[in-house]
Amino acid sequence: MDIRPILFTLRKHKLTCCLLVLQIAFTCAIVCNTIFLIGQRLDRIHIPSGIAERELVYVELSNIGGRTDGMARAAQDMAALRQIPGVTVVTLPNEMPFDNGSNNMDVRTDPNQRVATLDATQYFGENLVKTFGVQLVEGRDLLPEEYVDLTDVFTMLANKQYDKLPHSTLITRDMAERLWPGQDPLGKQFYVGPGMPFTVVGVMANLIRPGRDRMSNGAGYSSVWPVRLTLEQGDGYILRCAPEDRDRVLKAALEKLRANDPNRIVTAKGTMEEHRHEFFQNDRAMAGILVGVCIALLVVTALGIVGLASFWVAQRNRSIGVRRALGATRGNILRYFQTENFLLTSMGIGLGMVLAYGINLFLIVHYELPRMPALYFPVGALILWTIGQVAVLGPALRAAAVPPVVATRSV
Amino acid sequence: MLGYYVDLAVRSLKRSPGLTALMILAIAFGVAASMTSYSVFRAVSGDPIPWKSAHLYVPQIDMWGQKGHRDGSSNNDPPDAMDYLDAIALMRDHRAKYQSAMYAISPSIVPPDASKHPINVGGHAVYSEFFPMTDAPFKYGSGWSSAEDTQRAAVVVLNGEINQKLFGGGNSVGKTVNIDGKDYRVVGVLDNWSPKPVFFDVVNTGGFTTGHEDVFIPFLRAIDIGMPNNGNTNCSEIPKSSGFVGLQQSTCVWISFMVELDDKAAAAAYREYLDGYARDQKQAGRFSWAPNNRLRDLHEWLDSEHVVPSDTQISLVVALGLLVVCLVNTAGLLLAKFLRRSSEIGVRRALGAPRMAIYTQFLIEAAIVGLTGGVLGLLLTWIGIHSVSWVLPKEIASLARLDIGLLLLTLLVAVVATMLAGLYPTFRASRVQPALQLKSN
């Protein structure tokens, strides 16, 4: 199809065309970036945790006043919780995945290294690997005889008895790969604090770290240590059971804990799935808002195209009639308007790509967002072309329906 | 004359109802989306204490030195909270008009009625000057005295909600509350005070939390009885001894600090004092680095702590983009519509209408579109703000409200934007040569 007559016509409506192109360009730029932002949220929401999320329930408690026999009381609580039918294993960790607070350390591969290689979270707690259902890919789990009480750890640190500290630790594959790329991490040592060496005895497939603010540093940089806690030092009890038993187990756990000591307050309870859901609430909300804005934007642009196209069709009623009278088929007229729209949309998309890149740069500079992958550009273009063609179809069909006889009227 | 123009405009709009509806819808959409985002944005970034925020400052002292700073933090900023030693030293020196160290606590309250369960509450351990500094509104009583600070008196200021729970909302000043097993005398009751963001302790609350500020007790007393810190603790090295006492002797940071300074001169003097303090510490051998302090006013502080979620800012940018697209859209449609009416303008001009009259007529038509779009947009904004609570977390959504100011702004934006959009077409239309138009018919 010859596009020269179309271009010639469009030149008669310079400003209107410019506005339409501008609108399409803006829409294209914003849609590209919005889809990118939505994708980022979804990636974050669906991040794999490496734990048996569907099999965990938790209870967080708070004591009234201080207690001295913390260790014995925690052991008593856990023994009671283990007796609940359906519960396979129980732990009292210092932190949970999808918590907002977190316990972290700087890790060096050389004690004299000035800048730490990475920072990773530290999980403490007996039976933590088994309870969380974390998969060990290499080495072994921590042994019961390796465990020490956190209170003793503090004493050892205070007295500088670093050699008495437990030396074994488990790390994730992500962390191992970052510390010693391409090497076998088993038996390797890393250094924490004032050059204290620790040995990797096992490698976990994956274990997500808590803390929204820390996730960008490496969501899978986690380590597990042979340290036992009291309830005050810990985050709360985590119980593992079959997914269908969770409600019953949670109820039973609350009863057992109340029976052990009625003077405690349950500060939080629920399943790990709920905990994860809550953690990503913000991201889901943001994705929702962005999808809403995106749809509104496309609808408005589509309506704008419909409006202008209808307008032009009405305006050119007579010339369409003349063309029909001179032998143009309905198809010719239809294609004329479709091509016209395609041209305008393409111009808009061209300009929009430049704008999209600009907006992305702006977001990179101001909001520390990553660069948008090139894939998003053709996606945006495709959406705009489709919207344009769909929007123009109605007015174009109406134009095609103009009978040739119109040419003879109104003169 | 105005009535006549309005009549003309309505007739013209009625002639192409589809196009008119499109323009109105586009404006309504754009206005609603951007206004909804704006109200959320304003709710989050709103100044919690506008009359005073320029006088409130947060000092930061570098007690960690270069080695303690997180690798990759480019600006060499000192820690954003304080350790116990320095906080106490600053309190002792007492160089600002008002100052208070504070930390988050989460004690349990045992209700006087034995049949009721103990409740877990949130709050802060603060100094007496905290109350005049933050202008906390008292319903009954007042804060405690500075003498009671040093006496480590067992006194408490309750917030409205917990007072409602414990004492049915009555004047409870002088009554006793059992906190963590010890009796405290109520000296004041606040009037449901919950500033958003929680400006006095951003470090521990992130600015927004669903947690409540239920109780305030004297700082030194909380330290004395070992009431644990319920907020964040950051350490550059492991504390030398364990527990809460070990924390107090360490360089771990866990205390928020705020001062009130009357003017720029006072702020400069305080900055001088901080540097002097750091130099003294260096001489004493505690620090081995040059003074590296900050004294940010409340605005700079909230900004440096990223209290406004970047999500909200991005959504505002996106929504503004939507408004722009809608306005461009309307401008295009208005242009097409107005330019088509050259012959009508030709007739009116030939009959003696001055350019001004044409301008008035067409701008009124544009304004009617804008106003209708604005009113519809207002309706959509109302729906939008109500549905925000469906998607946004409670603590932020509850802040997003449609108020009168926003309402007027919405209408104004719609009308002004459409009139601007209608200006060029009107300019073009009024330039039409009457003779030319008449001839062509």
Report the pLDDT value the prediction gives residue B391, as an integer from 0 to 100.
67
Report the pLDDT value the prediction gives residue B208, as an integer from 0 to 100.
60
Considering only CB atoms, which chain B residues are within 8 Å of A300? 25-26, 29-30, 322, 325-326, 329
* Domain boundaries of chain A, sorted by first residue: 4-46+282-408, 53-280
Is B333 within 8 Å of A308 when comparing Cβ atoms?
yes
Is the minimum CB–CB distance between B118 and chain A shorter than 8 Å? yes
C-alpha triplet B202, B207, B212: angle, nearest 5°: 100
- CB-CB: which of A16, A263, A267 is closest to B332? A16
Report the pLDDT value the prediction gives residue A264, as an integer from 0 to 100.
81
Considering only CB atoms, which chain A residues are within 8 Å of B71? 106, 115-116
- CB-CB: which of B26, B335, B388 is closest to A300? B26
Considering only CB atoms, which chain A residues are within 8 Å of B19? 307, 310-311
Is A26 within 8 Å of B324 when comparing Cβ atoms?
yes
Amino acid identity of residue A144, one-letter, is P
Per residue in B19-37, pLDDT (tens digit) is 888 888 888 888 887 777 7
Per residue in B143-183, pLDDT (tens digit) is 999 999 999 999 999 998 888 888 888 899 999 999 988 89
A332-362 as b/e, with b when 16 or more CB fall inside 10 Å?
ebbbbbbbbbbbbbbbbbebbbebbbebbee
CB pairs under 8 A between A and B: 156
Report the pLDDT value the prediction gives residue B72, as an integer from 0 to 100.
42
Minimum mean pLDDT among A67-71, A391-395, B162-166, B247-251: which range? A67-71
Query: Does the pLDDT of residue A411 top 60, yes or no?
Result: no
Per residue in A230-283, pLDDT (tens digit) is 887 888 999 999 999 999 999 999 999 988 888 787 878 999 999 999 888 777
Per residue in A301-315, pLDDT (tens digit) is 898 888 888 888 888
Q: Which of the four pLDDT bands, split at 50, 70 and 90, describes residue B63? A: confident
Query: Does the pLDDT of residue B250 top 90, yes or no?
Result: no
Report the pLDDT value the prediction gives residue A283, as an integer from 0 to 100.
79
More confident residue, B219 or B435: B219
Report the pLDDT value the prediction gives residue A350, as an integer from 0 to 100.
95
Is A151 within 8 Å of B337 when comparing Cβ atoms?
no
Checking phi first, is residue B141 left (phi over 0); if not, alpha (psi -120 to 50) or beta?
left
Angle between helices B355-391 and B404-430 (to 10 degrees): 140
Report the pLDDT value the prediction gives residue B32, as an integer from 0 to 100.
84
Q: What size, in residues, is chain A?
A: 411
Is A66 within 8 Å of B322 when comparing Cβ atoms?
no
Token code pair at residue A82: 């283990």
Report the pLDDT value the prediction gives residue A396, as an integer from 0 to 100.
92
In angstroms, the separation between the Cα of residue B428 and the nearest Cα of chain A is 11
In sequence order, the 6+-apart residues with CB closer than 8 A to the CB of A97 are A49, A51, A132, A207, A208, A209, A210, A272, A275, A276
| B194 neighbors B398 (Cβ within 8 angstroms) | no
| A256 neighbors A59 (Cβ within 8 angstroms) | no
Is B181 within 8 Å of A308 when comparing Cβ atoms?
no
Is the minimum CB–CB distance between B120 and chain A shorter than 8 Å? yes
Query: Does the pLDDT of residue A66 top 60, yes or no?
Result: no
Report the pLDDT value the prediction gives residue B266, as an integer from 0 to 100.
93
CB atoms within 10 A of CB B368: 20
Beta strands in B261-315 (DSSP E): 294-297
Q: What size, in residues, is chain B?
A: 441
CB atoms within 10 A of CB A145: 7
Q: Which of the four pLDDT bands, split at 50, 70 and 90, describes residue B395? A: low
| A389 neighbors A341 (Cβ within 8 angstroms) | yes
Is A30 within 8 Å of B25 when comparing Cβ atoms?
no
Token code pair at residue B180: 């963590």
- CB-CB: which of A23, A30, A115 is closest to B329? A23
Is A26 within 8 Å of B392 when comparing Cβ atoms?
no
- Rounded percentage of chain B residues whose pLDDT exceeds 70: 87
Report the pLDDT value the prediction gives residue B47, as an integer from 0 to 100.
66
Helix (H, G, I), strand (E, B) or coil at A63: strand
Considering only CB atoms, which chain A residues are within 8 Å of B232? 101
Report the pLDDT value the prediction gives residue B330, as an integer from 0 to 100.
83
C-alpha triplet B39, B40, B45: angle, nearest 5°: 95
* Mean pLDDT, range B52-65, rounded to an integer: 88
Per residue in B330-383, pLDDT (tens digit) is 888 887 777 777 777 778 888 888 888 888 888 888 889 888 998 898 888 888
Token code pair at residue A138: 């290499």
Per residue in A309-350, pLDDT (tens digit) is 888 888 888 888 888 889 889 999 999 999 999 999 999 999
Report the pLDDT value the prediction gives residue B73, as an integer from 0 to 100.
46
- Rounded percentage of chain A residues whose pLDDT exceeds 90: 44
Is the minimum CB–CB distance between B389 and chain A shorter than 8 Å? no
Alpha-carbon distance of A32 to A50, in angstroms, equals 32
Q: Which of the four pLDDT bands, split at 50, 70 and 90, describes residue A204? A: very high
Chain mean pLDDT for chain B: 82
* Mean pLDDT, range B117-138, rounded to an integer: 90
User: What was the ipTM of the complex prediction?
Assistant: 0.72
Alpha-carbon distance of A22 to B424, in angstroms, equals 16
Chain mean pLDDT for chain A: 87
Query: Does the pLDDT of residue B100 top 90, yes or no?
Result: yes
Q: Which of the four pLDDT bands, split at 50, 70 and 90, describes residue B45? A: low
Per residue in B297-326, pLDDT (tens digit) is 888 888 777 776 666 667 677 777 888 888
